[in-house]
Chain A
């Protein structure tokens, strides 16, 4: 017991990694110490938290209603949000001047630097409910005193004059949550099936392993397409959302089940498991008190690495038009607008804004998962 008393405070800056402190540090402490060294993963963690926050507070952050159309500003280009005006801090966008190109019969927009439109923070807006229950009447930023004909499209507008920035922010809600919900479904399937496979072994294990191999040997896109296309068009959005998530997690659980099974197999013969069994502990008790805590960090790492593939799957299906459908807004649905090369050539922001959101979130999740995986074995590097 004296060892515990001599432990330095939890936030102590200097912890001797080779000394006695390390020998008595708990599993999570070791995990965090090792994870901290992976700088890219640390930055990614911040990016991920930021993105999920933006998704949660979408109503507050998006300056416009994502479905509000404006026929004046079809395919309006992005307006640069500059913070300085004449050397002082005055956030503003330049007003767009519209001319009709009679040759191509298209509207062309040019920014007019002589007419700056002031932008301010915490502007009043139509009442809405943040997170569905907090009544609010302000938005994070917007035009200070909007008049008809003024516009603030920081990422441009689509063919109906809808604000791409507001749509991408709202799309984050669906796209990022599909990853989480899908991973949760994979977790339940993977831990249950993998646990059964690893704990019982024998022919049960053999059968489950064959099933996993089978699922992994089929190319995923055609399989997903086959299942997703069977969803009736008339279904309510929420049900479509859940079925798509289910389809996407159909493959995700296999890697998790393998991980769990491998851990069960390697831990089953450990001394502490035998000791617990000789002590008269029930099998269920052994699983939840001794086995699960010892590989939970691996599961977290595997789960984090599974989220990006689910986000990409939803995006691909929605892009093809067999996943989520408008009026649901997701990054994949936004990319439907960029399906043909002519639309992209005319308005590249239709493609590159949602694309940047997807690439940044997937990249950050991959780096984060990588760092977690390296940290998941805190005892390895020490010994």
Chain B
């Protein structure tokens, strides 16, 4: 057996490990910067957390004890300079998982967000799967039959869907469903199933509700991906190796799937880095329109009520999730494309 550093398999694995560690170290400053942005958003509205809270209590006729106020000032470091407040805030999150209190709802932020964040994540992942599953075949078809009716149709639809904002798409979809099919849409479950434990029936009900938001959120990114896949594949199809393979008598389908499609897929994986933020943005605004139980409506409500700890925590967590997603896509790209990790 050869020593580990000459064995190609071990070399690849060690390259990969080094690459992954490098990418993760690079992500740390990004995460830090995102936390600062979220903290700035929390601090933006005039007045601090406690003035809002006290105004809230006073409006409900509750007396505020001086001791409580002092304790809370201490806890959030409100008398301290701004960087110390940031330190208190971020330390609370990292050490104790304490995101502060939502004063509008009177509950710790952590109690409110995880469930909704889970649905947001689920919806985004489903949308990504849908977009990829549809975009690749359409892109291939569009490239292979370049300048055919189907290519022109796909191109026109791609430009059209890129021009329609997500929320307009959501509203139009809801209008069409209710006006033409007589169905009310909205939410992710029927009323009977909202509080029911997970079961096969609930899963079925979920599937009946979730497809429309997934399609609505996905269409914009789908259009972009089809264009990219088409362009990539067209580049590959004009290369000499394709002619060689054809001259050797390889069948068209086998030829197409064996080399050009595989090569054209690589740049597509790298688009995850911007598709993911777009899908998450779309998910938030579509959820508001369709009143889905995800982070979107909660974030909007928190922002309108200036419930800043809740809003800031949501923005922080959404951004962190996106950065992790981008990290995963970078690593996937390195696994599938050796040229990237050898750079």
The residues of A with any CB-CB pair to B shorter than 8 Å are: 210, 213-214, 216-223, 225-227, 229-230, 232, 308, 312, 315-316, 319-322, 335, 338-339, 341, 344-345, 348, 351-352, 355, 358-359, 362-363, 366-367
CA distance A315 to B289 in the complex (A): 14
For residue B168, CB closer than 8 A to chain A, the reply is yes
For residue B64, CB closer than 8 A to chain A, the reply is no
Since A218-B34, A221-B282, A351-B172 are in contact, a sample of 7 more A-B pairs with Cβ atoms closer than 8 Å, ordered by chain A residue number, is A221-B281, A221-B284, A226-B315, A227-B44, A322-B300, A348-B179, A366-B159
Q: B167, A218: Cβ atoms under 8 Å?
A: no
For residue B160, CB closer than 8 A to chain A, the reply is yes
Q: B46, A232: Cβ atoms under 8 Å?
A: yes
Closest B residue, CB atoms, query A211? B33
Chain A at the B interface: mostly helix, strand, loop or mixed?
helix
If the complex has contacts A223-B37, A226-B315, A320-B288, are A217 and B163 also in contact, measured as CB distance less than 8 A? no
If the complex has contacts A226-B311, A308-B163, are A216 and B306 also in contact, measured as CB distance less than 8 A? no
Q: B178, A341: Cβ atoms under 8 Å?
A: yes
If the complex has contacts A312-B165, A316-B167, are A217 and B277 also in contact, measured as CB distance less than 8 A? yes
CA distance A320 to B286 in the complex (A): 11
Ranked 9 nearest A-B pairs via Cβ: A230-B44, A229-B303, A221-B281, A226-B41, A362-B163, A363-B163, A219-B277, A219-B280, A219-B281
Instruction: For residue A8, give the distance in angstroms from its CB to the closest CB of chain B.
Output: 33
If the complex has contacts A214-B33, A230-B44, A232-B46, are A341 and B174 also in contact, measured as CB distance less than 8 A? yes
Specify which chain B residues have a CB less than 8 angstroms from the CB of A320 in the assembled complex: 285, 288, 300
Number of B residues contacting the other chain (C-beta, 8 Å)?
51
The residues of B with any CB-CB pair to A shorter than 8 Å are: 29-30, 33-34, 37-38, 41, 44-46, 159-160, 162-168, 171-172, 174-175, 178-179, 186, 273-274, 277-278, 280-282, 284-285, 288-289, 299-300, 303-304, 306, 311-312, 314-315, 318-319, 322-323, 326
CA distance A223 to B37 in the complex (A): 9
Closest B residue, CB atoms, query A226? B41
Specify which chain B residues have a CB less than 8 angstroms from the CB of A230 in the assembled complex: 41, 44-45
Instruction: For residue A309, give the distance in angstroms from its CB to the closest CB of chain B.
Output: 10
Instruction: For residue A57, give the distance in angstroms from its CB to the closest CB of chain B.
Output: 24
CA distance A87 to B50 in the complex (A): 74
Name B284's contact: one of A219, A308, A352 (CB within 8 Å): A219
Task: Return 15 A-B CB contacts under 8 Å, by A number.
Answer: A217-B326, A219-B280, A222-B281, A222-B314, A222-B315, A223-B37, A226-B41, A230-B45, A232-B46, A308-B163, A315-B165, A320-B300, A335-B168, A351-B168, A355-B168
Instruction: For residue B324, give the distance in angstroms from its CB to the closest CB of chain A.
Output: 10
Q: A222, B33: Cβ atoms under 8 Å?
A: no
Q: B165, A316: Cβ atoms under 8 Å?
A: yes
Q: B306, A229: Cβ atoms under 8 Å?
A: yes
